[in-house]
Structure 1
Amino acid sequence: MEIYKLSTSKIKDFRQLIELFGESFDQKDVYDNNSLSDEFLKSFLQNKNHIIYVANLENTIAGGLVAYVLEKFEKNRKEIYIYDLAVKEEYRRRKIATNLINELRHYSKSIGAYVIFVQADYEDDPAIKLYESLGKKEEVLHFDIDL
């Protein structure tokens, strides 16, 4: 297995990851590759506050994550937010998600971040178990504000 941070030369891998997210989250309408141009994806990858890692196994994107760097104003420091993380069903239970997060940890330290945080839904037991094995749980409320 090879885990690497996506660059603009890996648009094909990014598209495979987007497709994987759509399938994993049962949201193919949200994760719609057809609506995204290569130029948009390249621009997204060029943003220093966007972090995308993939796990390539058997010449396929078996898993990946998208995280965002949040530059703080109250102190000169950064937080990292894992927005999406998924592993294809046939590749689960092989420590792929753990390895992806560990790569993100290493990178996050290198850019001066002090914490990584992630949200999990109450009914997502596998995700909760994974995150509990890697860090401490904090109970918070999440609100979506309509526009």
Structure 2
Amino acid sequence: MLIQRLTKTDIDKMRKLNEVFAIAFEDTETHLQKLPKDTYLQSLLEKSHFIALTAMLEEEVVGGLVAYILEKYEQERSEIYIYDLAVAERFRRQGIARSLILNLKEMAREMGAYVIFVQADRQDEPAILLYRSLGIQEEPFHFDILP
């Protein structure tokens, strides 16, 4: 398995990762109905605060994560937010998600980030077990505030 950070030339892999997310999250409406243009994805992949990691088996994207680097105002430091993480169903329970997070941890150390954080739905027990094994659980509230 190869884990790689996508660059501006990896638009096809980013699209494949989006398909993995759509199926894993059972949310094709969000992930597949209004696909961004190649130029949008290229621009996003060029941004230093955007991280897209893929797990590849041979030429197949079998999982990945998308994270954002958040620069803090109160101190000269940053934190990383894992926005999405998924592994295709037939490749689960093989340590791929853990490998993705461990790879991100190494990147975070190199960048000087002080923490990586992620949210999990209460009913997503596999994700909760994985995140508990890697970090400290907190009980925040989450609110969507629509413009």
Q: Return the offset for 1:107.
A: 0.6
Task: Provide the residue aligned with 2:78 in structure 1.
Answer: 78
Q: 1:106 to 1:117 in 2, by over 3 A?
A: same
Task: Provide the residue aligned with 2:56 in structure 1.
Answer: 56
Structure 2 residue runs without a partner (length 5+): none
1:103 maps to amino acid: N
Q: Which moved more, 1:104-113 or 1:78-87?
A: 104-113
Task: Provide the residue aligned with 1:92 in structure 2.
Answer: 92
Post-superposition Cα deviations, 1:70-101, rounded to whole Å, max 9, x if no partner, equal: 00000000000000000000000000000000
Q: Is the 8 A contact 1:18 1:33 kept in 2?
A: no
Equivalent residues in 2 for 1:26-45, closer than 5 Å: 26-32=26-32, 35-45=35-45
Q: 1:61 to 1:33 in 2, by over 3 A?
A: farther
1:19 aligns with 2:19: yes
Q: SS in structure 2 opposite 1:31?
A: helix
Post-superposition Cα deviations, 1:60-79, rounded to whole Å, max 9, x if no partner, equal: 10100000000000000000
Q: SS in structure 1 opposite 2:90?
A: helix
TM-score, normalised to structure 2, is 0.97
Structure 1 residue runs without a partner (length 5+): none
Task: Provide the residue aligned with 1:121 in structure 2.
Answer: 121
Task: Provide the residue aligned with 1:4 in structure 2.
Answer: 4
1:66 aligns with 2:66: yes
Q: Is the 8 A contact 1:15 1:33 kept in 2?
A: no
Q: For residues 17 and 42 of structure 1, what CA distance do their matches in structure 2 show?
A: 14
Post-superposition Cα deviations, 1:12-65, rounded to whole Å, max 9, x if no partner, equal: 110000011111111111012762111000001011100010000132101000
Q: Which moved more, 1:137-146 or 1:71-80?
A: 137-146
Q: For residues 46 and 39 of structure 2, what CA distance do their matches in structure 1 show?
A: 11
TM-score, normalised to structure 1, is 0.97
Q: For residues 146 and 11 of structure 2, what CA distance do their matches in structure 1 show?
A: 32
User: What's the Cα RMSD here?
Assistant: 1.0
Q: Is the 8 A contact 1:50 1:66 kept in 2?
A: yes
